[in-house]
Amino acid sequence: MIRIECPWCGLRSESEFTCGGQSHIVRPENPAEVSDEIWAEYLYQRENPRGLHRERWRHTYGCRQWFNVIRDTVTHEILAVYHMTDSAPEVSGGRE
């Protein structure tokens, strides 16, 4: 069990949150015009890194807000928390 700094509510137990998987997935601007391959990639292909992972979490049993997290998948250390609309910050530590 890890603890996560909700940008709105502060440090809370992981049990209050829901992990939504990889973040920064870009939805094709004009879905009707992209090929099946590109659409399928957007739908199904995900990173599975050993090290830094940018993912989105929701404070389900709290403010219900989504936000981004950079987590080291080896240590579960959370190196950054930032808003959905922000781009991923540079972080040091962890392994890329």
Partner 1 sequence: MNQTIRRLPHARIEADSTVEFFFDGRRYTGKKGDSLASALLANGVGVVGRSFKLHRPRGILGCGTEEPNALVQLESGEYTEPNVRATLIPLYPGLVAKGQNAWPSVRFDLLGAVGLCKRLLPASFYYKTFMWPNWRSWEWLVRRIAGLGTAPQAADAERYVKQNIHADVVVVGAGRSGLEAALEAARDPAKRVLLIDSQEEPGGRLLGSPVPEERSWLANALSEVAQRDNITLLCRTTVNGYYDNNVLAALERRSNHLGPRSGNAFRECFWRVFAGRVILATGAIERPLVFPNNDRPGIMLASAVREYTHRYGLTLAREIVFYTNNDSAWQVALELHRVGVKVDAIIDIRGAVDSALVEGARDAGINHYLGTRVINTKGRSGIRRLKIQRAPADGDPSVQSVESLPCELLAISGGWTPTLHLYSQSGGKLQYRESDACLIPDCNNQNISVVGRAAGEFRGELNLQCQWLTPDVPPENQWVDFQYDVTAADIQLAARENFVSVEHVKRYTTNGMSVDQGKTSNVNGLGILALATDREIPAVGTTRFRPPFHPTTIGAYAGIELGALYKPVHLLPAHKAHLTCGASFDDYGSWQRPVCYPKPGEAEAAAIAREAVAVREAVGLLDYSPLGKLEVVGPDARAFLDRVYINNMVSLKHGAARYGLMLNEAGIVIDDGVVVCLAEDHFLLHTTSGGAAVIHRHLDEWLQCEWTDLQVVVNNCTTQWATMMLSGPKARDVLQQLDCDIDLSRESFGHMQYREGHLLGQRCRILRASFTGEVSFEVSVPARYGQSLWKILMQRGANMGITPFGIEALMLLRTEKGYLHIGADTDGNTMPQDLGWGGAIARKAGDFIGSRSLSLPVGLDADRLQFTGLELLDPKGQTISGAHILSADERTTNGYVTSAVHSPNLNRTVALGIVAGAAQRQGEEVTVFYDGLRQRARLVSPCAYDPEGNALNG
Stretch (H or E) spanning 20: strand 18-22
DSSP code at position 47: -
Q: How many residues bind partner 1 (CB under 8 A)?
A: 27
Looking at residue 51, its amino acid is G
Nearest to 86 by CA among 66, 61, 59, 62: 66
Site for partner 1 in 31-70 (CB under 8 A): 31-32, 34, 36, 39-40, 43, 56, 58, 60, 64-66
To partner 1, the closest distance from the beta carbon of 14 in angstroms equals: 8
Nearest to 56 by CA among 90, 89, 20: 20
Considering the rule CB under 8 A, would residue 1 count as an interface residue with partner 1?
yes
List 54's β-bridge partners, or say none. Answer: 70
Considering the rule CB under 8 A, would residue 74 count as an interface residue with partner 1?
yes
The residue ranges that bind partner 1 (CB under 8 A) are 1-3, 20, 23, 27-28, 30-32, 34, 36, 39-40, 43, 56, 58, 60, 64-66, 74-77, 84-85
